Amino acid sequence: MVKKIVKYPTTPSLEFGANIRHFDENLFSLIKDLKDTIEENRLNALAGFQIGSSYSVIVIKNEDGSYLEIINPRIIKRAGSVESLETTAYFPGLSAKTQRYEKIKLMYEDREGKQQFLDAEGELSITIQRKIDYVFGSNFRVRLSESERKLFDSKLEFGTDAITDNGCPTVFKRDRILQLFKLLFVSSILGLFASFFVSDNILVTLKSIENYLMLSMFGLLIVYFFYAQYEGKQYKNCSSCQIGNIIGTSAIELTKLSIVFIVNYFLLW
């Protein structure tokens, strides 16, 4: 049966991590639920906690479509270190860089209660380590460095994986939009000034150019307003001041555009 996946901010209780002693229909039913939920959500692995069970069970889908069933897992040997960019259904849409063991030796039991051993490396090793975190009532956040944890907490707060830095830069990509707006604004002013010295035929062309310039500036303001908010969400430490700055800048530029429009209307039309 497909189960609802447990997501943040739900936290496990103290009962998690206990060994399974009875290899019976309750266990087999949980394993089937884990497989069904993996298939339904197109995942590669789930731990019991992730569908609300306190049982110490992990199910991993292999590349050939078969399943690896891991019961009562314990890592008994570790080697190497590797940085991993991890995602998980517990924090949907978010990722974080963690440090994991490159290779592990796992001791576990199969569905018949027989002890098994597994040497794992690469993606399988990382997947097992991540799911074991859930088995013991934890998640990959506890594996993050201090700086990565602060960054990940910012992602949690704003609900987006687009945040790449907690700092507040002095130069933004949105500034390029403003630079283009100012260039068009100056061009429009020069066009209005030139209207006093051109012939009637050229004036008709000048009117069309002025109209295109004003439409372009208005479009740029709309793009600036929404893109600036998107860009601002990537930097936690100055998000509040950025919002005020974005609104203020948009209002000022819109006022300038309105003045140019009024002058254009009375002079050229």
Residue recorded with tokens 């197109």: 42
C-alpha span between 39 and 2 (Å, rounded) = 9
C-alpha span between 261 and 236 (Å, rounded) = 37
- Residue 233: predicted pLDDT: 67
Structure confidence by residue, pLDDT tens digits, 207-262:
888 889 989 999 999 998 888 877 766 665 555 556 667 778 888 888 988 888 88
Long-range CB contacts (within 8 A, 24+) of 175-184: 177/220, 177/223, 177/224, 177/227, 177/228, 178/224, 178/249, 178/253, 180/220, 181/217, 181/220, 181/221, 181/224, 181/253, 184/213, 184/216, 184/217, 184/220
Cα radius of gyration rounded to whole Å, the chain: 29
Structure confidence by residue, pLDDT tens digits, 60-99:
999 999 999 999 999 999 999 999 999 999 999 999 999 9
* pTM of the predicted protein model: 0.64
Q: With CA atoms as reference, report the closest residue to 16 among 135, 142, 140.
A: 135
Query: Tokens for 118?
Result: 């597994």
C-alpha span between 260 and 269 (Å, rounded) = 13
C-alpha span between 55 and 37 (Å, rounded) = 16
Range of lowest pLDDT (7-11, 133-137, 169-173, 246-250): 169-173
CATH of domain 25-158: 3.90.45.10
Q: What is the 3-state secondary structure (H, E, C) of 144-186?
A: CCHHHHHHHHHHHHHCCCCCCECCCCCCCCHHHHHHHHHHHHH
Query: Tokens for 13?
Result: 């209780």
Q: With CA atoms as reference, report the closest residue to 44 among 108, 117, 130.
A: 130
Structure confidence by residue, pLDDT tens digits, 179-211:
999 999 898 888 888 888 878 788 888 888 888
> Do 139 and 7 contact (CB within 8 A), yes or no?
no
Q: What are the domain boundaries of the chain?
A: 25-158, 174-268
Average pLDDT, the chain: 87
Residue recorded with tokens 């061009």: 187
C-alpha span between 35 and 92 (Å, rounded) = 19
C-alpha span between 249 and 254 (Å, rounded) = 8
State the DSSP code for 128: H
Query: Tokens for 171?
Result: 């130069």
